[in-house]
Amino acid sequence: MKKADLVFVPSPGMGHLVSTVEFSNLLLQRDEELSIIVLVMEEGKEHIPRLATHANICFIELPHVELPPDELMIKCIEKYRAEAVEAHKDCVKEAIVKKVLPNSPKLLGLVVDLFCSSMIDVANELGLPSYLFFTSGVSFLGFTLYLSYRFDRVGREFEESDPESIVPGYINPVPANVMPNFAFNIDGYISFANHGRKFRETKGIVVNSFLDLESHAVSSLSTHDLPPIYTVGPLINHKNENTMQSNNQSQHDEIMRWLDEQPPSSVVFLCFGSRGYFGVPQLKETALGLERSGHRFLWSIRIASKGKSPRPNEDIDPKTILPEGFLDRTKGRGYVCGWAPQVEVLAHKAVGGFVSHCGWNSILESLWFGVPILTWPLYAEQQINAFQLVKDLGLAFELRLDSRRFSDEIVKSDEIANAVKCLMEEDSEVRKRVKDISVKSRKAMIAGGNSYASVGQWVEAMLASN
């Protein structure tokens, strides 16, 4: 291929940036004549040094723009994100016109993140093809597209009392209680419905998933009038390099040493993503549940920081918040930490189960390494991800499908203990299915696999449109 450039516009969150870089690395492994330019919004600049990248990836930091008020973030994060991205349109256009086009032998197009659909307008203004990079699954893509169709019929957001919905991409009818939080907020609902409408204007939709995982979703969406869908995943850190280095290397080493001392498939790993946290009452119940389960565990703990907009705080002393004597009683079979190197932990032979918030990246990592999940969703699209895993795919155990971070409901210790025992059963059908999909996920990424072929088809389609 003649040397060519591709511009990515990701959301500034770490999970979206990691997926963008992993996909970029994959593209460059396939064709070294390609160069990638990633336009990074100010909120994401701090993450750049922690991203493991190919030499042919160039980051352009976008200038400061006036963002929406913080009050909007608290009221409706989805609307805040949409308006924050919208505020970057002029500087994205300027970066492409002044910094990309003058130095580019050939610009194949603009690849926008699912939260950056307003950048499709920039591509249209510059006469460039646009493509969507959807960092969640094909089923959730179907849900996003369904929102505008439903709104045109009923003209309102979801309510908890609504009946089950037939949503393209899901095998079973979807209950209202597993819909994402934004689906119950009119501003959030409309923001996502607008994204879905814009997706249809692109030349193609690239999804971080693979055909063997979501064959039903791919098939069901193919009957709709949509741009071509390319499943190119699972896009995870396949080489097990740690893209989120801890500031405390000694803690990293201590965690891995502790795992090295544990029997194979004996440890339950609890970790809830970069934005996951619990209050002290729930942490105490979880501790008692782990103790009663009798299983070994590695537990990454975060609590909410103080302030108007709470954030996860991992700099805590577990002795001050966990039940008295818990650490002494579980010494040797339990390890409590703040930060944990999730990919490295899931890859370790000692880990046999994962209690997870069901973020899409975490799901793909867990399936890649053949570790079954116990579902404990908190925010974003995690509830409907958990529903899909348990009810549609049979690839996870249910602790909760509808739990939410700001709910007052406490998941009790007995429930946690019983669920962990199910998770760690050696010969369960779920464990067998997860092992099978793990093999298929790896095959998808190598020559002859579905995702490998899909990447090639997408690149060929881009070349044909230029």
**Residues constituting the chain:** 466
Residue keyed to tokens 């094909």: 138
What are residue 53's DSSP bridge partners?
A: none
C-alpha 96/C-alpha 219 separation (Å) is 36
Amino acid at 452: Y
Q: Is 249-441 in the same CATH topology as 4-233+445-464?
A: yes
φ/ψ of 251, rounded to 5, equals -65, -45
pTM, rounded to two decimals: 0.94
C-alpha 256/C-alpha 366 separation (Å) is 17
C-alpha 175/C-alpha 161 separation (Å) is 9
* DSSP secondary structure string for all residues of 309-347: S--EE----GGGTSPTTHHHHTBTTEEEESS--HHHHHH
C-alpha 203/C-alpha 226 separation (Å) is 9
- Residue 174 vs residues 139, 170, 180, 388: alpha-carbon distances, Å: 11, 8, 11, 9
CATH code assigned to 249-441? 3.40.50.2000
Per-residue pLDDT tens, the chain, 466 aa: give them: 458 999 999 999 888 898 899 999 999 988 888 999 999 999 888 888 878 677 899 999 999 999 999 999 989 999 999 999 999 999 999 999 999 999 999 999 999 999 999 999 999 999 999 999 999 999 999 999 999 999 999 999 999 999 999 999 999 999 999 999 999 999 999 999 999 999 999 999 999 999 999 999 999 998 888 999 999 999 987 544 444 444 578 889 999 999 999 999 999 999 998 788 899 999 999 999 999 999 999 999 988 766 555 556 666 788 889 999 999 999 999 999 998 999 999 999 999 999 999 999 999 999 999 999 999 999 999 999 999 999 999 999 999 999 998 888 999 999 999 999 999 999 999 999 999 999 999 999 999 999 999 999 999 999 888 7
Left (φ > 0), alpha (ψ -120 to 50) or beta: where does 301 sit? beta
**For residue 336, what are its two tokens?**
């409590």
The continuous run of DSSP H or E covering 109 comes out as strand 107-113
Residue keyed to tokens 């998808």: 444
| Enzyme catalytic residues | 16, 113
b/e 215-252 (16+ beta carbons within 10 angstroms → b): ebbbebbeeeebbebbbbbbbbbeeeeebbebeeeeeb
Are the CB atoms for 284 and 320 separated by under 8 Å? no
Left (φ > 0), alpha (ψ -120 to 50) or beta: where does 382 sit? alpha
C-alpha 266/C-alpha 259 separation (Å) is 10
Q: How far is CA 200 from the centre of its chain?
A: 22
pLDDT at 310: 58
CATH code assigned to 4-233+445-464? 3.40.50.2000
C-alpha 449/C-alpha 451 separation (Å) is 6
- Domain definitions of the chain by residue range: 4-233+445-464, 249-441
Are the CB atoms for 10 and 21 separated by under 8 Å? no
Are the CB atoms for 399 and 355 separated by under 8 Å? yes
